[in-house]
Amino acid sequence: MTIASHRQREWITAKRAALLVVVLLDVLIALFLTQQIVTYRDYPFDGDEAIHANNGLALALDLRAGNFGAFAADFYAQGFYPPGFSWLKAVTFVIFGASPLVGRLFSVACLFLAALVIYAIGSELDKRFGWLIGLVAAALTLTAQWMMVASAKVLMEAPGLLAIGLMLWAYLRAMQQPTARRFILVSGLAVLAFLTKYTYGLVVIGTLALTEATLIWPQRRTLKSDWRAIARRWVWLFGPLGLALIAWFVGPGKLDQFVSYATSQPRDGAWFTIENLFFYPRSIALHYAPSPIFALVILAGLIWAITRWRDVQIRVLLVFFAIGLLEMLINLPKNPRFVATYVPAAFILTGAMLAGWVAGWSTYWARAKGALMIAALALAVCVAASVPVVIERFAAFPALMQVSYGTDPRATDVAGWISSQVPIGQRFYLVNPWDQFSGMALEWYQATHVLPANGRMADVSVPWAQLEQPAPENMQWMVQAIRASGAQYVVALVGGPEGQPVWSDYANALGSVLVPVTHQNFILEQDKVGQWIKESLLTRDGLQAARSGRHLRIQLKVMVYRLAWQ
């Protein structure tokens, strides 16, 4: 056996072993998240989860009724949050039933697949040590705290990571063998990323456009001879994407929904502040790196990637990460989970740096023996310091998930009582809901508990508003909103944590239009840990201390009225 063939066998063995480790770690993390989801299966959706679950449920109801025309209409109607994964979620609900448990497990499945895609991306970067790149990137992704949190809820981070990962993988392969079929696949996956969430789509499109621009800029003097080849490449890469976007935005109101989503943030918030500039770098160090000291390794990986700018595959990932971080810098308000789909690109670059170091060890050893020893020692210190942090992170995770779900299982009793007081088929207007007891969550409850067979999501829509100070214009707006909603009942939540506690003033303004039906008192509880969760290195003791001082007990009075318009 020659030396070359022996090394080839060693690389194959290493690649198989690394893939096996990634799959094993992936399975263990999926089981760990599943355990938390099952433990908190009685915790209903908050507002964010309910929005994304309802999109899938609306399509599932159409499929269950066999109404494919309604399915197409509801699919196209989902504009503020586009339906990139709603259709797949709908199929899941039809097969396994619609419940918070199934919806959350769908996110875990997306993370499981996304980790394998991340490993595949790493494998594309280096023929010999791609297995090491993929192993490092997948391991960092699967131990990122906010990635795990988002993947145990019905949110878009895990599906977004899967869609974007597939697109990046396909694009890197197309770079190696540029064919029409491969570029068309990239374009189609870019459409999927865009329809998963608009912010993901903008980053993906920006990455493709900027990378392609950097490819032709060095050849700008010879473009005349190559313009046909470049034009064909761009037609394959951007043609399907452009046609899909035209077809999507040609519908009435679609562009307005896109603009509304893109601008749905505080207008008076200053983003160019020290706190804002360092929010996401700090979040990466606290919640995405195995430990804050290991964040220095990730930073070194990014710096290393900048020095390898001429490597087009490295450039793609660097451009993607930079655009994603810039987009989230401008976006307000801040939440660590918003960068969960972008940070794994930095993990891949970190793995590439370590793989490059290993590959060049024998070459560099004679020339930079001392520097290599210092670097190896520093890396060993970072890894060693990360072990207790990762262990504590997993130990704190169950309590963290209870806070992250944020709802009280008794909220289901409140939803059930409200539904029992409003006749089936009648719509009610909800006053003063909040994130942990929202109109969207009530829509989910009604659709899964009281909606008759062949019913549609539109039949149980819950219009809602939070009360402002009882100025004449505010009360007039409320009266008009209730009338325009077509509701036959009003359900007022008195004692909740959001909205002004001035329902009696609004009730007086409505006068005899409001006919009291019944009322009931409930007690709900929730944690109000708030900003501390986003800015702290979460530990069991720290989390418990924060929760003990910020626990909210809500004495809720639910009042039901019938509307008697003249």
* Segment 130-146 mean pLDDT: 96
CB of 296 closer than 8 Å to CB of 317: no
Q: Domain residues of the chain, as ranges?
A: 3-41+99-403, 411-563
Residue 95's CB: how many other CB atoms inside 10 A?
Answer: 10
pLDDT value at residue 566: 59
- Mark out the alpha helices in 152-271 (DSSP H runs): 157-176, 180-196, 198-216, 223-249, 254-262
pLDDT at 224 over 60: no
Residues 555 and 493: their CA atoms lie apart, in Å, by 10
Q: Which residues pair with 141 in a beta bridge?
A: none
Two structure tokens written together for 537: 């290195």
* Segment 190-208 mean pLDDT: 96
Residue 271's CB: how many other CB atoms inside 10 A?
Answer: 15
Residues 482 and 513: their CA atoms lie apart, in Å, by 11
Round the average pLDDT of the chain to a whole number and report it. Answer: 91
pLDDT value at residue 530: 80
Confidence of residue 263 (pLDDT cuts 50, 70, 90): confident
Two structure tokens written together for 3: 């030396």
For helices 86-96 and 47-65, give the axis angle rounded to 10 degrees: 70
Residues 481 and 439: their CA atoms lie apart, in Å, by 15
3 state DSSP class of 164: helix
Specify the residue for token string 């939803």: 415
Q: Which residues pair with 464 in a beta bridge?
A: 430
Dump pLDDT digits (tens) for 345-383: 999 999 999 998 888 776 766 567 777 788 889 999 999
- Mark out the alpha helices in 290-406 (DSSP H runs): 295-307, 312-330, 343-359, 361-365, 369-405
Q: Which one, of 411, 279, 250, lies nearest residue 337 by Cα?
A: 279
Dump pLDDT digits (tens) for 6-15: 567 767 788 8
pLDDT value at residue 273: 83
At 457, give phi and psi (nearest 5°). Answer: -60, -35
Residue 371's CB: how many other CB atoms inside 10 A?
Answer: 10
pLDDT at 274 over 80: yes
Distance of CA 66 to CAs 78, 99, 336, 443, 490, Å? 19, 20, 40, 21, 33
Q: Considering only the C-alpha atoms of the chain, give the largest distance between any 2 of them, rounded to a whole number of Å.
A: 95
Length of the chain: 566
pLDDT at 218 over 70: no
pLDDT value at residue 238: 96
Which pTM does this prediction carry? 0.94
> Which residues have CB under 8 Å from 417's CB, separation 6+?
520, 522, 558
Confidence of residue 268 (pLDDT cuts 50, 70, 90): low
Residues 115 and 28: their CA atoms lie apart, in Å, by 12
CATH number for the segment(s) 411-563:
3.40.50
pLDDT value at residue 544: 87
